[in-house]
Amino acid sequence: MSGNVSWREVMPELELLEREPLRAHTTFRVGGPARWFLRPKDEAEAAEILRRCHEAGIKPFFLGNGSNVLAADDGFDGVVVSTAGLDNLTLGENGAIVAGSGVSLARLANVAAQNALTGLEFAQGIPGSVGGGTRMNAGAYGGELSGAVRWVEALAETGEKRRLSREECRFSYRHSLFCEEHLLVTAVCFGLEPGDREEIQAVMAELARRRREKQPLEYPSAGSTFKRPEGHFAAALIDQCALKGLRIGGAQVSEKHAGFVVNVDNATAADVLAVMDEVRRRVAAQTGVTLEPEVEILD
């Protein structure tokens, strides 16, 4: 099987799209078509997709909410596996919540709050999914997902199921085992503590207020564009170099928060990359610090 063979012939029940524009599936609202866009409805279907890709020598790209992805203007001439259909969420005992990788972090945090469970308040405003957030150990306002993870279930390239403890996931700043090994996260168990529902919701409301006040939520973006350099803050360095408002084509360094590159007017991926490259060049020249992209490039 290759990229030119119809998936409809081998998995007729599979939800799939051909030549699907990736701009419709990324928060940057940028990107050309994916040759095949597959959306498994459950873990078994996802495992079968991976097995067939492995046998054919195809390395699929795993896509959650697309909140940390910049897709190329020419698109992706391969297989994209969307986790949107893996969206089951169940409450367990002793503060456990098991969430499918396609569950949004906002939904996860809200369910936790509704059930008076504390530990994920920071995640409500992160525009990603459980799978993608776990892969990059997403965090905000002093919290990281790894702090609440008990175990992660994932599929290997062969479709074999694995369960990994938090320690086995090798979490660090914006990194995990899943950045190193080609594993598809399918479900995550979070262990939370009992708390006061009203206090939890008050914390979430305050963090939401701070996000609205400080972040350019009115424009499409991938959130923080660069990782935090050791001993520094990316946004502070960019601001220090007077780069707020730097614009190339339809992409711009946010005038509200220097850590964000935003799509202000039908930006292309080339526009975004040009802004990122110019920011990195000027920051390195003026401060000696090399900024590393946090956003993942799909081309």
Q: How confident is the model at residue 13 (pLDDT cuts 50, 70, 90)?
A: confident
Q: How confident is the model at residue 2 (pLDDT cuts 50, 70, 90)?
A: very low
Min mean pLDDT across 1-5, 86-90, 93-97, 292-296 is at 1-5
Contact, 108 vs 117, CB < 8 A? no
Token pair for 226: 């660069």
| For residue 4, pLDDT beyond 70 | no
Quote the mean pLDDT of the chain: 95
**Residue 174 catalytic?**
yes
Distance from CA of residue 94 to its chain's centroid? 28
Task: Single out the catalytic residue among 224, 228, 254, 280.
Answer: 224
Task: Single out the catalytic residue among 15, 48, 278, 294.
Answer: 294
Q: How confident is the model at residue 6 (pLDDT cuts 50, 70, 90)?
A: low
Q: What is the pLDDT of residue 244?
A: 97
**Residue 282 catalytic?**
no
**Residue 67 catalytic?**
no
Task: Single out the catalytic residue among 174, 221, 254, 280.
Answer: 174
Q: What is the pLDDT of residue 1?
A: 40
Q: Which residues pair with 164 in a beta bridge?
A: 152
Taking the CA of residue 72 as centre, how many other CA atoms within 13 Å lie in the half-sphere pointing to its CB? Answer: 10
